Every structure is written in C-alpha cells, then in structure tokens.
Chain A
C-alpha cells in the first residue's frame, strides 16, 4: 500500500515560516559555532606543537574530554548541570542558542584542532626555515607562509565538519531551541502528515549542504597557486584524511 504524497501540503510546509526560520537558525548556529571552533582549534593546534610539556598536556586533556563524550551529553550538561553549579545560568539571558553555541563550539574545537594541526604539519618544514633565514619572526612566518599553505589542506575536511555541524544543530532541539527539526516535528504531530512534514525538512538540509559544496569547490580553486587561469590541481598526496566521527 503506497502512502499518498500530498504535494500541496508538502509545499505549504516547505514555504512556512517556522521551516525557513528554523533552517536559517540552524545555518546561523552552524556558521558561528564552526567559526569559533576553528579559532579555538587553531590555538589548540599551535599548543599541541609547543615545546612546553604543560601546554601540550592541557591541549591533550581538552581534546580527550570533548572527543570522548557524546555531543548530546555535552549539550545537556551545559543546559542542565551548569545552573545547578551557578544559578546565574538559569537566567533568561542564557538562551538555548547561546548554550548550543558554547557546547557545539567547544566540542567541535577538539576536532578542528586535529585537522588544523595536521594541516600545519603538512607544510614542508623547509618553508619555515627559509622564512627564518630571511629574518622573519615565527608569527609572521605562520601568517604569511604556513597558514595559507595549511589552509589549502584543511579546506576539504573542514567542509566535512560543516556538514556534521549542521546535523548536530538538530540536537539542540532537546534544549528547546526551535530550529528546523523542531519545526518539522511540530508540523508532523499537528497535521499527522509525517511524510510531507519531514520531507520538507530534508529538502532544506539538502539545499544548505549543496550550496556549501559549491562554495567549497570555489574556495579550493582560489587556493590553487597557479598563474594559468583555470588549471585544476590535485591536492598533494599527504592530504589530511577526514577525521571520521560521523557516529556522532
């Protein structure tokens, strides 16, 4: 018995305000969380290569804690456990979006630091040597030589992380964030049209990821250092394998 698919109901869901607002919210949360995670991850990556054992220890500890515990648990912890420790976190200033942003950024930073570290390591050590020989400070070498080359390597796995992050935002529904998944659940339970309600949500997720893939391809092309217009280059063989954690 094939269930019927009502195109009109599907379209209504697709164009409804809770859906596109929820999708926008999910996208917003993804972008800011990934940005923060990259920034934190960058410093973690640098710390991971530090000469001081204490710094390396801190980085290891951070990575261990945030990768070993489920993201959902971290999210719930921040929402439920923090107010128990410090009542200020029960205040209305601590909105679900903020809590989700904090949880997702901290969590993702642990993964981004691995990716960034591998990217930094993939740059030939001779580059830094040449920079030092010219008299450049380590910070300048990082900024002008190492990071641009590392970025080329980290673009593909970071694109992957973006997709993962987008899917993780749906977890925030359990701490009462009204994003896309929530919108689809509400419509489904109110209308009993599960197929149409959830399909519309799927379409939004697909659309966002597709746009991301196009942007990623463009970004990769920009970091191909070639003076001949559109020459396509394959990324070097020592490219970083994607840090696999889709089981999250």
Chain B
C-alpha cells in the first residue's frame, strides 16, 4: 500500500510545524526532552501512585509528572516497573526518570542523582484498636510484620531483627510482598500485626478501610521522596530542579497534595 506525499499532506505538515513553533514561542521553558519523557513508576503505593479498578494509574506522583510535562510542553509517559526494578530500568534507559514514592538515600544517590520534592514520615500501621499494643519499633519484637519487598522499610526491619537477635529479644516474623497494599492486606486478613510504610500510605489505607486500621507510631525522622535521573543527563537534572522549584512556588504541588489529603507542609 504505497503512500505518496501528495501536496495536501505536505501542506498539513508545514502547518503543523508552524503551530508547534509559535506555541513554543509564548512561554519558552527550556524543555530538556523532545516531545515526551518516560517515567518509571510502581503503582502500588497510594496515594502517590496506584491503579484504579479500571486499570488507570492515578496518584500524586502521576499528577506531578503531568505537571512537569505541562511546564515543558511535552507529554509524560508512564512506564510500569516493580519497585525493585525501578532504578535498574532507569539504568537500562527504559525510562528517563523515576517518580515512584522512592526515598533519597546515600547509597542510591551514589548511582543516580535525585531531586527532592516531598518530605514524609515513616509509620507503623496496625489493626484498628491496636490489639497488640504496638507503641514503637521495639514493640515489634516477636510480632508478625509485613512489608513491601526490596524497599528501605524492609532493609530497616531486617537490621532491627538483627538488633533484636543480638540483644536476646524475640525476632519478628517478617514477610515481604510485591506491593505495599499486599502488606496492608495481611493486617486486614489477620495474618500480620503491623506494617512499616509511609504516613501517606497509612493515611490513605485508613481512609479506604474505615474503622479497620490505625497508625500506631509515626517516626520522628523524615525521609525525602525524590525524582531520580541518570548521572549523564545533567541538563535533565537541572531542568527537573527548576521545575520542582517552580511548581512549589506557584502552589501547584500544594494543590496536588491537598487532592490526595497529604499534609501540605510535606511539599513546602
């Protein structure tokens, strides 16, 4: 089926280029990417990212990615990954950035730089009424604890278990699951006593399962969520930094946070 570039299509092509050209001319934000950028995301961490029952991906991170894209006048394309596969995918160039409720930590930054965008506290989520009286991490000794696999939460709980062992206390029965929601499900099923996750996730799950869950403990230390990019993409990194700054300044992030009932102080 041959297609010849007739005069009509040529005319249309020129017209399109003209439109693109003039559109860019009004607010020229330096778009570091052409046409679109891909972001890797693991949609199992509401309210930052999750899938609706119809399969659509929604959440704060998705909204923020789209907001950044609007700034640059490009499109943001979602790329699915397991949580443990996010950074490998970035390294393999399956995406340009990682936006997925992932902490900025020293060991990660060594491999891939990141731009921070939100502060958050870790939380221990338990069954409503806190039947096992868990008041803090030390109370986890001897309990059944569920967590999302390959996360920093899991790492922390593992080292906590080592601490318990060396101080002669009972260790936790630790179970790890592909998704954060799978771990929460174990509390609802009665299999786990506690889940270590983020306050954002805890608040969301509490809302979604009214009367069934409670936040037993909020860690005082804060973590920071970041957007990861490859070391070699210095232009992209700079653009991300300025984009986040802009979105914070013009209140966009506040609006998006309010939408998910995330405390606005987290995105100051």
Contacts and interface: CB of A to CB of B under 8 A. Distances in A.
Interface stretch (B184-192, B240-248, B252-260): B184-192
Contacts of B185: 80
Interface stretch (A35-43, A130-138, A140-148, A188-196): A188-196
A176 B177 contact: yes
Contacts of B154: 186
Contact of A186 (B87, B150, B190, B191): B150
A84 interface: yes
B155 interface: yes
B11 to A, nearest CB: 44
B190 A87 contact: yes
B32 to A, nearest CB: 22
Interface residues of B, number: 22
Contacts of A83: 189-191
Interface of B: 84, 87-88, 107, 111, 144, 146, 149-150, 154-155, 173, 175-178, 182, 185-186, 189-191
A192 B111 contact: yes
Contacts of B84: 185, 188-189
B190 A90 contact: yes
A182 B173 CA distance: 16
A190 B59 CA distance: 27
A218 interface: no
Contact of B191 (A90, A173, A185): A90
Given A182-B176, A192-B111, 9 more contacts: A83-B191, A90-B186, A91-B191, A92-B144, A176-B146, A176-B149, A176-B176, A185-B84, A194-B88
B190 A182 contact: no
Contacts of A87: 190
Nearest to A87: B190
Nearest to A81: B189
A156 interface: no
Contact of B175 (A84, A176, A188, A190): A176
A173 B13 CA distance: 52
Given A92-B144, A174-B177, A185 B150 contact: yes
A175 B186 CA distance: 11
Nearest to A83: B189
A48 interface: no
Nearest to A194: B88
Contacts of A94: 191
A87 B191 CA distance: 9
Interface in A130-186: 173-176, 178, 182, 185-186
Contacts, number: 46
Interface in A82-120: 83-84, 87, 90-92, 94, 96
Contacts of A90: 186, 189-191
A92 B173 contact: yes
A98 B259 CA distance: 43
Contacts of B189: 80, 83-84, 90
Contacts of B87: 189, 192
Contacts of A91: 191
Nearest to A185: B84
Contacts of A175: 177
Given A176-B176, A176-B177, A194-B88, A182 B149 contact: yes
22 contacts: A90-B186, A90-B191, A91-B191, A92-B173, A94-B191, A174-B177, A174-B182, A175-B177, A176-B146, A176-B149, A176-B177, A182-B149, A185-B84, A185-B149, A185-B150, A186-B154, A188-B84, A188-B88, A189-B150, A190-B155, A192-B87, A192-B111
Max chain A C-beta neighbours (<10 A), residue from B84, B88, B144, B176? B176
A182 B150 CA distance: 9
A94 B186 CA distance: 13
A191 to B, nearest CB: 9
Contacts of A188: 84, 88
B234 to A, nearest CB: 18
Contacts of A194: 88
A87 B189 CA distance: 7
A47 B88 CA distance: 50
A188 B107 CA distance: 13
B172 to A, nearest CB: 11
A95 to B, nearest CB: 9
A87 B190 CA distance: 7
A222 to B, nearest CB: 43
Nearest to B150: A189
A112 B201 CA distance: 44
B79 to A, nearest CB: 17
A23 B228 CA distance: 33
